[in-house]
């Protein structure tokens, strides 16, 4: 890691007292920031939440390299690997997943107020399902090493989103 940063060991540890602190900083300042930019902030810009969720999902497929899909979502990777062994990672991941879920639920609630989303659905439960679908599709894509898995999951996500629409 030191080679990649161009820093001397002393300079790095001047800012971070341990590898764990450095890892937390990477999670918080890089991974979480990027996912906020990719998923949470764009949802706020769409007037229609169902279209917004679908568009954000599809934009990832269009705009990210095959390498991203073969390596998987960094947040999901950390959640899977580190949460069982480090409470700090588990808590940070959980907090962020809660923020992401809250953003999706807020978009769905906004859609209910606009008369776009069926008021009989529970936005929080639907948000958990949508977030699970997104992260699950990235995990399966990584496992299969095939971007078409992400595309297939996106088609079903879109179908599900349509079931939330007011008829």
Task: Please tell me the pTM assigned to this model.
Answer: 0.85
pLDDT for res 12: 56
Per-residue pLDDT at 48 = 93
pLDDT for 80 equals 85
For the chain, 167 residues long, give each residue's pLDDT as a single digit of tens. 556 656 566 665 666 676 777 777 777 777 788 888 888 999 988 989 999 999 999 998 888 888 888 998 887 887 888 888 889 888 988 988 999 999 999 999 999 999 999 999 999 999 999 999 999 999 999 999 999 999 999 999 999 999 999 98
DSSP secondary structure string, the chain?
A: -HHHHT--HHHHHHH-SSHHHHHHHHIIIIIHHHHIIIIIHHHHH-SSHHHHHHHHHHHHHHHS-HHHHHH--HHHHHHHHHTTT-HHHHHHHHHHHHHHHHHHHHHHHHHHHHTSB-TTS-HHHHHHHHHHHHHHHHHHHHHHT-HHHHHHHHHHHHHHHHHTB--
Rounded distance, CA 165 to CA 167, Å? Answer: 6
pLDDT for the residue numbered 10:
64
Give CATH for domain 42-163. 1.10.357.10
């Amino acid at each position: 890691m030191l080679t990649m940063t161009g820093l001397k060991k002393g300079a790095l540890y001047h800012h971070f007292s341990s590898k764990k602190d450095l890892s937390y900083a990477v999670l918080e300042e890089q991974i979480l920031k990027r996912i906020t930019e990719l998923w949470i902030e764009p949802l706020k810009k769409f007037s229609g939440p169902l279209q917004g969720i679908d568009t954000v999902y599809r934009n990832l497929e269009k705009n990210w390299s095959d390498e991203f899909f073969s390596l998987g979502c960094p947040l999901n990777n950390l959640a899977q690997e580190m949460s069982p062994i480090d409470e700090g990672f588990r808590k940070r991941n959980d907090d962020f997943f809660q923020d992401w879920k809250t953003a999706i639920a807020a978009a769905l609630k906004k859609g209910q107020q606009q008369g776009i989303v069926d008021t009989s659905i529970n936005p929080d439960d639907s948000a958990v399902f949508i977030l699970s679908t997104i992260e699950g599709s990235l995990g399966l894509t990584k496992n299969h090493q095939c971007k078409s898995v992400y595309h297939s999951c996106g088609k079903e996500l879109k179908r599900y989103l349509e079931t939330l629409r007011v008829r």
